[in-house]
Amino acid sequence: MEPLPSSPPSGGGSPLQLEECIEEVLKLTLISSIQGKLHTGLSNEFCANLLRDDPSDPLPTNDEVSKGVISYPLYKRLALSLYKSIHSGALCTAYKEVIPVHEDQSSKNKDKEWNKLIVGEGSALLRILKEVDFELDVQEPFFSQLSGVQIYRRFYSEEEERSNGVLAICVSIPTSQLYVIMASILSGLSYSGVQKLLGFVQTIGTNPESLPPPSSTLLSTFLAPNNPDV
């Protein structure tokens, strides 16, 4: 697979960070899934839990200090694992996952399917993001000659705009394809694939929609008194 550049050029602005873009696309895809605008194959509750924040998290965000504990919101970790997986061409997890003692053939087949999905759909997602390249360099009084650009003149009068250089330019480009591809990735991964990217492995009896609990929940559980009446 072709190497993944961390920052393809974007004219007239700061470099485009692919990792941040994938995170934002994932977030908006999950929101759209909850709103019924996209089909990801994931329940609204599952998507909401991926977006859920943990304001009471007592652990620092430093990865070295909180290593092994997945911080909320989970979609950020999921986006990081997706980014690394697309980069390597194979499924990667944010943390070292626990490998079941007996890994059956069906699990291995799933891994192959997920790797194929990551390579195919991930490459398509990358291709679109890498093509984001723009530059806007316009001088008065040639704004009105811009082809395909809508000029919005309701903030000030045209005379004031021309004298003060006040102008709002709205350029519309189709971005729905990004979310469609991300929804296809989530649909292909399903619950078990998402869980694996988060380093969470299903075992016998595991709820198929389970996700790692927030750090604050874990801490409060450990601190809760056992047999308080004794």
> What is the mean pLDDT of the segment spanning 60-72?
57
Highest mean pLDDT: which of 36-40, 65-69, 161-165?
36-40
Rounded mean pLDDT of 120-140?
72
Q: Which is it for the CA torsion 50, 132, 179, 170, positive or negative?
A: positive
The closest alpha carbon to 52, from 27, 18, 17, 87, belongs to 27
Beta carbons within 8 Å of 108's beta carbon, 6+ residues apart = none
Q: What does pTM read for this prediction?
A: 0.68
User: Is position 159 within any domain?
Assistant: no
Computed on alpha carbons and rounded to an integer, the radius of gyration of the chain in Å comes to: 23
Cross-strand bridge partners of residue 168: 152
Does residue 53 belong to any structural domain of this protein? yes
Question: What's the chain's average pLDDT?
Answer: 73
Residue 221 has pLDDT above 80, yes or no: no
Q: Helices 74-88 and 105-130, interaxial angle, to 10°?
A: 90
Express each pLDDT in 71-103 by its tens digit.
Answer: 889 999 999 999 999 988 888 875 555 555 456
Tell me, what DSSP letter sits at residue 143?
G
* pLDDT number for residue 28: 94
* Inside any domain, residue 168: no
Lowest average pLDDT, out of 81-95, 129-143, 202-216, goes to 129-143
Q: Is residue 182 part of a domain?
A: yes
Which of 182, 184, 210, 187 has its CA nearest to residue 198? 210
pLDDT > 90? residue 137: no
Q: Is the pLDDT of residue 160 over 90?
A: no
Instruction: List the domain range (segments joined by +) for residue 30.
Output: 18-136+175-223
Does a structural domain hold residue 157?
Answer: no
The count of structural domains within the chain is 1
- First-to-final CA distance of the chain: 62
Q: Give residue-wise pLDDT tens across range 32-41.
A: 999 999 999 9
Q: Is residue 191 part of a domain?
A: yes
- DSSP per-residue string spanning 41-110: SS-HHHHHHHH---TT--S-S-TTTSTTSPPSSHHHHHHHHHHHHHHHTS---SSPPPPPSS--HHHHHH
Residue 186 lies inside a defined structural domain of this protein: yes
